[in-house]
Amino acid sequence: MKYNNPVIKGFYPDPSVCKAENTYYLVCSSFQYFPGVPIFESKDLINWKPIGHCLTRESQIQLGRVDSSGGVFAPTIRYNNGRFYMTTTNNSTHQNFYVWTDDIYGEWSEPIHVDQGGIDPDLYFEDGKVFFMSNGKDDNGIDGIVQCEIDIETGVKLSPSHSIWQGTGGRYLESPHMYKINGLYYLMASEGGTEYGHMVTYARGDSISGPFEAYPNNPVLTNRNLGGYELQGVGHGDLIQDNDGNWWMLHLGFRQIGRWLTFHHLGREVFLTPITFGEDGWFTAGHNGTTLTSFETDRISDEILQQEKKIYTFENTDWKLDWCYLRHPAYEHYLLRPDTVTLKGTEVTLDAAASPTFIGIRQRNFSAEISCDVQLTNGEAGFTLYMDENHHYDLAVCKDEHGYKVIERLNIGDIKSIEHKVDLGSNNHAALIIRASHERYSFFIHADGQDIPLGTAQTRYLSTEVAGGFTGVLIGLYACGEGSMAEFSKFKCVYH
């Protein structure tokens, strides 16, 4: 069969995967968004559905006033003796920790911290022992992939932290994962930075603590030399063996807005690439060491159809699974119903590294039409295309001493400009529309049976290349201004 990449679209970076019985489970980074660490489930590796989050309580993760792209960094999920473990980093507090659950659909434990620095932690279970790995410096100040043995009940170190591999020389050695395959230990990591030079490398050895011999043809997977190729930034992978014995890598990558336009704003997404072991025990990845937007494979039955959801509404999404908040929300400001949402604004705006009244869903494809009806009582409320507090486009209804109006506001770094206004008089209701393409967003208000254009803005100014950071655009509903109140209805996001 032929499957298409990415297998999970939109801002879901740093995937990690495990298998329990005949089901695959995958987690991703969430940074400043809450709840933290989304969980997906699949039976076939190409169709993934959200089932929950690992971090659902403020006691589990302190987000406070963390900056955008702070908070929860790359997680790892593992399954051992009937229990799931997820380990991650709160990069804002520089703490590595893990949580666990016996019910993947239920709540997870309180955090158990490990006194080892670095980021991108990994857990490896073998013969009753548990090894913890991250990147950084060991107890002797040596850089590399750092490993120690821990007590899984308490997180206490049972051995010193020791640097076991220094990679192949690429910058930002990160995302270590350990596997034992056919009697050998394989240590996989990423180098080059999670940008256009990103790459997956690996080494192997006879002992879990090394020494490790690097794969002679590293990097095993990268798209860094494919100029003019829309799929870039490939790296940060995790291996999984399917029920038929085939090996795969789930990893991140991103899609440029155009073949020669090196900007991406949808965030880093989840890709699936086949892995093949040779007779010498080394494995190769993808098509000549690259990943593709589609793969033809006989490893997946032709009877399995890759499904893609094209329409998102209030009615066919789940507030707890598909939507998220900025940092820790004040839940009393949100009334979430099956077909409408009422938001109560505060003085906190989208420009603050705090928690404005905001609930968002990831933008998953370049081409889309997004629409919603907004009825405002006071203040300001509407749509935002949100990358971070300094980079977002707003289409909103607002009230001042002269009545109501619809505004199109562009926020690009230090430049914050209301580009267009449409006066509504005493009418406090508006039907708002955003049409998205690869290169532009176009803003409209629907009135008197027609779409009235307010203007356009380039997508590149919401891209990582402009804004920086590690996230992607969310389609947000928001309200701000003391005493503001708004009701949203008829939300629809249609991807083309």
Q: Is 460 helix (H, G, I), strand (E, B) or coil?
A: helix
Q: What is the rounded CA–CA span in Å between residue 187 and residue 4?
A: 28
Q: Would you say the C-alpha torsion 357, 492, 13, 111 has a positive or negative sign?
A: positive
**Conformational region of residue 401, where left means phi above 0, alpha means psi within -120 to 50, and beta covers everything else:** alpha
Q: What is the rounded CA–CA span in Å between residue 471 and residue 328?
A: 17
Catalytic residue status for 269 = no
How many Cα atoms are found within 13 Å in the side-chain-facing hemisphere of 376?
33
* Bond prior to 50 in cis (omega within 30° of 0): no
Residue 415 amino acid letter: I
Per the structure block, which two tokens stand in for 233? 């930034």
Residue 327 amino acid letter: R
Q: What is the rounded CA–CA span in Å between residue 299 and residue 281?
A: 20
Nearest to 55 by CA among 67, 71, 78, 70: 71
Catalytic residue status for 174 = yes
End-to-end CA distance of the chain: 23
* Burial of 235 per CB tally in 10 Å (0-12, 13-18, 19+): buried
Cβ atoms within 10 Å of 319's Cβ, excluding its own: 15
CA distances from 169 to 166, 219, 282 (A): 7, 11, 20
Q: What is the rounded CA–CA span in Å between residue 133 and residue 119?
A: 9
* Secondary structure letter of residue 390 according to DSSP: T
| Catalytic-labelled residue, pool 138, 174, 238, 380 | 174
| Catalytic-labelled residue, pool 14, 44, 122, 389 | 14
Q: C-alpha dihedral over 186, 189, 192, 194, to 10 degrees?
A: 150
Residue 168 amino acid letter: T
| Active-site amino acid positions | 14, 174
